[in-house]
Structure 1
Amino acid sequence: MGTWNNFCRELEKAGAFLDRPESPLDEIDRAEGLRYLTRLLRVGLDLTLEFADPHHPALVSAQEAHFGDGGNTADCVYLHAVIDGRSSYRLRGTRGEAPLMEIGIYDGKIGLDPVSKRIDAVTEAGLVVDEHGEVDVRIGPGFADNAGPNVLHSDATTRYLFIRQYAHDWRSTTPATLSLELLDPATATPPPLTLAVVEDALDRSARFVHDAAVAWAAVVDNTRREPANVLTPVPDGIDMTVPTGHRYAFGHFDLAEDEALVIDFRPAEVPYWGLAINNYWFEVPDYEGTSGQVNNLTAQPDAGSTVRVVISSRDPGVPNWIDTFGHRVGLMVFRWFRTPLPVPEIRTRVVPVASLAASAAGI
């Protein structure tokens, strides 16, 4: 069948991405790269076929342990939906317990659309929650500017709803339970599936696999051009997809099996900071565990309020250890959220793992 053959040819182009000179050659990175392409395909099919009708919207998970498109953190629960900015929607349900939350609408999604700029957003600071813990948010083009705090103003370019919920420990935090409905439904039930819809979805999802991989790899490759084992603050105001009030420092580690990266900084009191590693494909290596990241509630500072984080392939027996999960090289992301304060000074040095283990043992 021509449609399926075209789909497979587009996927073959996406697979060639793994053979770029910049792509890593280690077996674990190659294996994760192949798996990453399958995960991108799942996201692409969700957004172009399974949940793609903005007139019968579905709010679904955007990133989890077993699928996603990159740039995520295990401290965040992500939800998304395809919408039409010319229509009006109602988002409602329980607020949940996440300390930080942002509901944003965009003119596209990275990898799927030419641009991805935030059109409007509301965070936990402006979101009104009733006495029962419920939220009711309206999204659309026809609401007055004084319609209230829980209103997001869309325009004809708006096509994507993205919700982020950040918590320090999801094992003891309840996420929001939300539903999305169209306020001006054209039909009560979705129309019958057509060949044209499927053909377009297969074409767009296959191209998404390639384009999303290229977009996120560009971030990683740019970071890897800088010196290894250093975290560098990202300048403010360079990307409208960044959540409100968020700052970052990026870097990459490059460590031998017997080496450890020691990271020292003294953070101010802020709503959230977190330090995590990702693989080359910008995926979280330990999504459901606690060994791949630390944050301002899980970290153990010293008596002088300095936090020391250690990244290594072997557990040196010290607090705030981040496991590399078999990766010799990987991405580091420091998140510094909901504060006007600049990213703190971050000092790094590479030491033998044995020296840390000996120190921890009191030798």
Structure 2
Amino acid sequence: MTTIGPTILEYLTDLEGAVGELKNTWQPDDPAYRADVYRQTMASLSYSYFAYFHATPEHPDWAPLWNPVYTLQPNPDDIYTYSPISGKYRYRVSGNRGTVKILSFTSQRGMSGMVDGFADIGGHNDIDDADIVYEPNGDFEIIFSAERPDGWTGNWGRIDPTATGIFTRYRMYDWHREVDPVLSIECLDKVPFKARLTEEEILHKIKEMSKFPARKTRSYYRLQNAVKETVGFNVFQPTRMKGALTKQVYWPACFQLEEDEALIIETDIPEHAPYWNVQLNDPYFNALEYVYRLSSTNGAMAKLSSDGKFRAVIALTDPGVPNWLDPAGYKEGGIYGRWYDCDSEPVPTITRVKLSALRDHLPADTPVVTPEERDEELRRRVRACQRRRRW
């Protein structure tokens, strides 16, 4: 029998592992970096309670996943929810899809932060709207299982026999008008009532919680550092993630600029482009503030130039042009763009210029965005984002 210790701190010693990852940041001796990593550690720890205590494969339930509180690079257009599952059970997901741009489900073995590294994650299976038949009003149900149930002719999503979790993406294009889905998940097999946790189970879960921040930072720092080490700053390196979301091509980069400079992102847009976006991250792979900062845009929000190209400007102060990407006070960080199910995959370019000469590098007919127009743009964004489910 376990004898529980007199203080909870003895079960949280692995939190220091996350702080130890400072050595893998771009400026490990900078006090501001240390403070940011402390904040990031608390953010990951706050999510880890959901990961370990909220639900079980036998008693599934949707919980928040990546978002502005539980950071580490959520897509600002996506609302993510997660539930533990097991490949030995059958599940029914039902509800209404709402009017979001894309609804998708990914099941897999292992989740980042709950395993030691990306190499331990596998068994991916994705389905999205192209695979789901809806009622005219948007109602639907899907059976998720390792094998299609005998006689079942409705929506079915395969899960790997080794699967441990399933998560959603509610991908919204028009934040102002689209409506989030409403979903439930239930295990269809006979299971016992949800039991009170034992002392040993609680202590084990607390210890796993304390490991979670280090596991997250270790994996994602290496992911972002690999871009910088391969192509340096201000160069995109397109990639397709192994396993999950095979329809999506990412175009990451690491940005760097000074206060008197601007970075111009320029790209063609695929002829068939169901969804695309671009966002800014901090140097630790967290999405930058995106409710009260214009740190992301997408194919519905963005204004294209008269030649049909997309041009965005990263600058520490408002450059007075469309598609300002605000780095929220950071002179360096990450950029993540996405082409989803597009018929081509252009590689954007980044041009570093003096802010005072910005318009010399943009089309002559680039509109002026006044401070009043920018203020209204931001206010609309705040209202729209706050009305979405985020946690």
Same fold per TM (> 0.5)? yes
SS at 1:344's partner residue? coil
- Measured after TM superposition, the shift of residue 21 of structure 1 is 5.9
Give the stretch that moved more between structures: 146-155 or 254-263. Answer: 146-155
1:71 is aligned to 73
Tell me if structure 2 keeps the 8 A contact 1:316–1:354. no
Q: Is residue 261 of structure 2 the alignment partner of residue 240 of structure 1?
A: no
Tell me the residue number matched to 1:220: 224
Q: Is the 8 A contact 2:111 2:165 kept in 1?
A: yes
Taking the aligned partners of 1:326 and 1:26, their CA distance within structure 2 comes to 15
Cα deviations across residues 138-164 of structure 1 (Å, max 9, x unaligned)? 112342488446212234311100111
Residue in structure 2 matching 1:318, options 304, 317, 321: 321
Q: Distance in 1 between matches of 2:242 and 2:108?
A: 12
Check the 8 A contact 2:12/2:207 in 1, yes or no: no
Could you tell me which runs of 5 or more consecutive residues in structure 1 were left unpaired when the two chains were aligned.
Answer: none
After superposition, residues 95-134 of structure 1 pair within 5 angstroms as: 95-113=97-115, 115-134=120-139
Cα distance per residue 1:88-132 (max 9 Å; x no partner): 111111111111221121011122125222432211111111123
Q: 1:337 to 1:145 in 2, by over 3 A?
A: farther
Tell me the residue number matched to 1:208. Answer: 212
Q: In the alignment, which of 6, 9, 13 is matched to residue 9 of structure 1? A: 13
2:312 paired with 1:273: no
* RMSD of equivalent CA atoms: 2.3
Shift of 1:191: 0.6
Amino acid at match of 1:320: N
From the superposition, tell whether residues 281 and 20 of structure 1 become closer, same or farther in structure 2 (CA, over 3 Å): closer
Corresponding residue to 2:298 among 295, 298, 309: 295
Q: Residue 33 of structure 1: SS of its match in structure 2?
A: helix
1:26: Cα distance to partner? Answer: 4.9
Matches within 5 A, 1:1-363: 1=5, 4-20=8-24, 22-26=26-30, 28-51=32-55, 53-68=56-71, 70-113=72-115, 115-144=120-149, 147-148=152-153, 150-187=155-192, 189-225=193-229, 226-234=231-239, 236=240, 238-241=241-244, 243-269=245-271, 270-289=273-292, 291-341=294-344, 343-356=345-358
Q: Which moved more, 1:102-111 or 1:15-24?
A: 15-24
Separation of aligned partners in 2, 1:27 and 1:164: 35
Contact 1:86–1:155, Cα closer than 8 Å, also in 2: no
1:92–1:134 CA contact under 8 A, matched in 2: yes
Instruction: State the distance in 2 between where 1:155 and 1:256 align.
Output: 48
- CA distance in 1 between partners of 2:124 and 2:278 (Å): 28
SS of 2:12's equivalent in the other structure is helix
Contact 2:61 2:83 in 1 (8 A): yes
Distance 2:354 2:60 in 1: 53
Separation (CA, whole Å) in 2 of partners of 1:233 and 1:142: 35
Aligned AA for 1:180? Answer: I
Sort the Cα spacing of 1:149 and 1:332 in 2 relative to 1 into closer, same or farther, 3 A: farther
Take 2:63 and 2:153, find their aligned partners in 1: how far apart are those partners? Answer: 26
Unaligned runs of 5+ in 2: 370-391
1:280-336 Cα shifts (integer Å, max 9, x gaps) = 222121232461112111111111101111001011101111011000101011111
Residue 227 of structure 1 aligns to which amino acid in structure 2? G
Q: How many residues align?
A: 355
Percent pairwise identity: 24
Asked if the contact 1:72/1:282 (under 8 Å) is kept, the reply is no
Judge conservation of contact 2:25–2:284 (CA < 8 Å) in 1.
no
* 3-state SS of 1:125 partner: helix
